Structure 1
Amino acid sequence: MRGEAGLLADLASLVVPFAAHEHEAVFTVEQSSRVDADIPGRHTKNLFLKDTGGAFWLVTVPAEARVDLKALPAAIGCKRVSFGKPDDMARLIGIAPGSVTPLAMINAAPGSVTVVIDAGLAAADRMNVHPLRNTGTLGLAGADVLRLLRHWGHAPVIAPIPVIAG
């Protein structure tokens, strides 16, 4: 596991611009909204999922999105999904619930988890994600998140994520 030190080293070596923000620990979107108000850019939430075929998925969506989990499999090309277990999360991407981020893919073996980024976030000038812990936020371009994922050997899926209206 390369961890946050590896992440910061890769950001520097690839010359990825980012803004770092330290804050209190946040575990939910509701808690995050209190610190997000002072951080510009698109805020995110992440779903660590397992499909009925046994494949793992990390789906990054806008923080305010209510993902339609019944429609999601057709949108991203998998079988029915449920939330992954914390021990699988720790084993595969090296983090705990509350700190989930696409940047945790630095710790994942290529092919072990499929990462999906909402199309709007992938195109964002600035998306905000955790730096492998829930006491900080990194703001970086969606294109740079995709570049990091590819650098680590992952093939991110960019998709419009189905949401529940309301």
Structure 2
Amino acid sequence: MPRTRADLMAFLDGLGIQTKTVDHPPLYTVEQSQALRGEIAGAHTKNLFVKDKKGRYFLLTVGEEAEVDLKTVHQLIGASGRVSFGKPDALMELLGVQPGAVTALGVINDTSGLVTLVLDAGLMQNEIVNCHPLTNEATTSIASNDLVRFAEATGHAPLVLNLATA
């Protein structure tokens, strides 16, 4: 059973990580979430759940305006051949989220360490990063260095790479 938003918040609290969460109607796209600009400070994210030809999974977290070249990103992240989008059932099984709620915080559910978290270096230059707290009905603001600390506490040493092409 995947961890819940409450489980996530308790885990973050246990690490001494302060966050701020704003509830809102469900958001499924970056365009929908842009309606909240001004209400929620910090960098907003876009997440790509992909797999390579050998079945290895990657979660790419970039700034909402960033473009990622899916034809060449495999060379940056160490994937075997070009990547394709992971299926919704794998997303739920590995990260415990539905499409539209994909988040770097989902690695809390990847207890087997099957997903490589890759954070865009440009995104991580921001003091605050905004992520869904395992649901697309809220946005959680977390310090970028605390996002790394959280990922490491879940057993995921995130790669911080220049993923964005624009």
CA deviation string 1:1-20 (max 9, x = no partner) = 32212211112111112111
Give TM-score, length-normalised by structure 1: 0.94
CA deviation string 1:12-62 (max 9, x = no partner) = 111112111111111011111112332111010100001111101110000
Distance between the aligned counterparts of 1:5 and 1:24, measured in 2? Answer: 18
CA contact (8 A) 1:75 1:162 kept: no
Q: Which residue of 2 aligns with 1:101?
A: 103
Q: What percent of counterpart residues are identical?
A: 45
What's the secondary structure of 2:71's corresponding residue?
A: coil
**Structure 2 unaligned spans of 5+:** none
Comparing 90-99 with 121-130, greater Cα deviation is found at: 121-130
Distance between the aligned counterparts of 2:112 and 2:127, measured in 1? Answer: 26
CA deviation string 1:70-109 (max 9, x = no partner) = 1211111112100000001011111100000010111112
Comparing 35-44 with 78-87, greater Cα deviation is found at: 35-44
Distance between the aligned counterparts of 1:53 and 1:62, measured in 2? Answer: 27
Residue type matched to 1:11 in 2? L
1:124 aligned onto 2:137 = no
Comparing 103-112 with 49-58, greater Cα deviation is found at: 103-112
Shift of 1:113: 0.6
1:9 aligned onto 2:25 = no
Provide the aligned length of Structure 1 versus Structure 2: 164
**Structure 1 unaligned spans of 5+:** none
